[in-house]
Amino acid sequence: MTHSKPAGKPLTIQVREALDAVAEPARAPAMQAYMKSAMPYLGVLTVPRRAALKLVFAGLDWPDSAAWQADVLALWRGATHREERYAAIELSAVKAARRFQRIDALPMYDEMIVTGAWWDYVDEIAGHRLWSLLQNDRSAMREKMLVWSTDADMWKRRSSILCQLLAKRATDLDLLYACIEPSIGSTEFFLRKAIGGALRQYAWTDPDEIARYVAVNEHRLSGLSKREALKNEGKRRGG
């Protein structure tokens, strides 16, 4: 693995030791049950996890995107506990990796989404990492998200719908609606929820547009998607 730490323990070992040091094993069973996870937990809460990883990741640098991706995927693939996969996702977002958030990183995120296949992994990658790629390589990423929107893998479909959650006024509405369209009639909970969530998020920016879209698609959107999309309607009207 290529990184700037002095020669010694591999990054994967440093991460495991850092997580072990702040783990509360008694919490692990409840965390695993809540997430319905086959992979066990160490029992590390979010705040101490991020603090511990910040120390491990401090000063990391890579000569190129391939070296960075190798470190991220080594953590991801070698994980024995869920927090180690959270660490891989956090490593993918460190400051030194900003210059690597380009379209050539998409296969790495693709693997993490497909093999992770659960909302805690997928939503962080889709809502944050894919948005970075979309900002940096808009045309190529736009094409990829349109392809993902019709993919057989439900989590890739969900990711295409959620990839603009942070966009606000920069949201490409044509892309959002195009990514929703193939799943608009789906009975899958995670797709219905994603559709409603993406629409609700943009409603903070333009509530009238989302109200219009929901009205036009009244008979095609699921009840869940409509409820989620219009959740902020009462607040907007002072209700």
Instruction: For residue range 46-56, list pLDDT tens digits in order.
Output: 999 999 999 99
Instruction: For residue range 182-191, list pLDDT tens digits in order.
Output: 999 999 999 9
Band the pLDDT of 233: cuts 50, 70, 90: confident
Rounded to 5°, angle at Cα 126 from 178 and 51: 160
DSSP 126: I
Band the pLDDT of 230: cuts 50, 70, 90: very high
Closest CA to 126 of 54, 184, 232, 197: 197
The stretch 103-120 carries a mean pLDDT of 98
Q: Do residues 211 and 181 touch, judged by C-beta distance below 8 A?
A: no
Q: What is the dihedral of CA 122, 125, 130, 136, to 10 degrees?
A: -170
Question: Can you give the pTM of this predicted structure?
Answer: 0.93
Please check the confidence at residue 39 and state whether its pLDDT lies above 50.
yes
Q: How much is the pLDDT for 187?
A: 97
- For CA atoms 219, 222, 228, 231, give the dihedral sign: positive
Domains of the chain and any CATH numbers:
1-100 (1.25.10.90)
Band the pLDDT of 3: cuts 50, 70, 90: very low
Instruction: Give helix 46-57 / helix 11-22 axis angle, nearest 10°.
Output: 150
Please check the confidence at residue 235 and state whether its pLDDT lies above 90.
no
Percent of the chain with pLDDT over 70: 95
Instruction: For residue range 152-170, list pLDDT tens digits in order.
Output: 999 999 999 999 999 999 9
Q: How much is the pLDDT for 2?
A: 44
Please check the confidence at residue 236 and state whether its pLDDT lies above 80.
no
